[in-house]
Amino acid sequence: QVHLAESGGGLVQAGGSLRLSCAASGRTVGEYNMAWFRQAPGKERELVAAIFWTGTSTYYADSVKGRFTISRDGAENTVALQMDTLKPEDTAVYYCHAGGDYRNDGYLPAYGIWGQGTQVTVST
């Protein structure tokens, strides 16, 4: 069965960095478009970053541009999110998604699979 395994979450102080990783395991068909979402308590889940399956195109939410970088992490259907200059407002559960529709103005998780999420907490 295909599933996504996430790692790298944790607690950091404002201004620090974390690197999240998401890997698909099990049977997969070709390469997937992949993305990171986040959801803070009491708020809706929001798209943070996405990457086209070839790795040649990326999307970032305005709130993280210049601070976060999404990339293929040296294997098929594996993606990383490098988070620098973290702010308290970045605190959320971060979810990986694979197999959605990549667009030049976003990413639609209408199909595909979700990871279980990993907690990122940025202290003041």
Residue 40 pLDDT exceeds 90: yes
Q: Note the pLDDT tens digit of each residue in 15-34.
A: 999 999 998 887 665 578 99
For residue 34, the surrounding DSSP H or E stretch is: strand 34-39
Would you tell me how many other CB atoms lie within 10 Å of the CB of residue 84? Answer: 14
What band does 11 get if pLDDT is binned at 50, 70 and 90?
A: very high
Confidence at residue 2, expressed as pLDDT on a 0 to 100 scale? 77
The span from the CA of 32 to the CA of 28, in Å, is 8
- The length of the chain is 124
Tens-digit pLDDT profile for residues 100-112 = 999 888 999 998 9
CA distance 55 to 52: 5
Q: Name which residue leads in pLDDT, 105 or 70.
A: 70
